[in-house]
Amino acid sequence: MDNHSEGLRVFVSEWLAAERDGDTAALDRILADDFTGVGPLGFLLSRQEWLQRHVAGDLKYRALDLDEVQARHYDCADVVVARQRAQGAYRGNELPGDLRATLLVVGEPSARRLAGVHLSFMAGTPGAPAIPGRPGPGGSGTGGVSNG
């Protein structure tokens, strides 16, 4: 692993720990001023709204991890795509266990910031909405084909 990749891995690990632990001081340092979070249902959260979920105690993780991590580097930005595995609750409602997460990390290695997080449901995982026209788990079963 080269120095850039290792530094990115450390940065993402620091974000993950801060997010899991509700460490708003660390998140305040990590999130870019114009950070935007996109939730699995398409809602947008500003930097302040993202932090407020922890300040208010609305979001509580029992576990949070990433796997299936893939990273791509572009000049002064990195795109990280991973599977987020979570256990916890938001305002008493259980969180979806598995989400696809895309992180946009910007800045030079010595001044990295998280500019955005986009979370989306993964087909076939518990809590994910059905995919219209798809047979099997996560779908309606017709495949969109009519036999009539």
Cα distance between residue 29 and residue 63, in whole Å: 22
* 79-80-86 Cα angle (round to 5): 145
pLDDT at position 145: 37
Cα–Cα distance list, 47 to 31, 51, 85, 114, 117 (Å)? 7, 6, 22, 10, 11
Give the C-alpha distances (Å, rounded to integers) separating 112 from 38, 76, 89, 102: 20, 9, 29, 16
Output phi, psi for 39, to 5 deg: -80, 170
Q: Digits of tens for pLDDT over the chain (148 positions)?
A: 688 899 999 999 999 999 999 999 999 999 999 999 999 999 999 999 999 999 999 999 999 999 999 999 999 999 999 999 999 999 999 999 999 999 999 998 889 999 999 999 998 887 778 778 776 554 444 333 333 3
Whole-prediction pTM value?
0.85
Residue 106 to residue 115: CA distance in whole angstroms: 6
* CA 62/CA 119 separation, integer angstroms: 18
Can you give the pLDDT at residue 48? Answer: 98
Radius of gyration of the chain (CA): 17
pLDDT of residue 135: 62
Amino acid of residue 23: D
The structural domains of the chain, ordered by start, are: 3-121 (3.10.450.50)
pLDDT for 1 equals 67
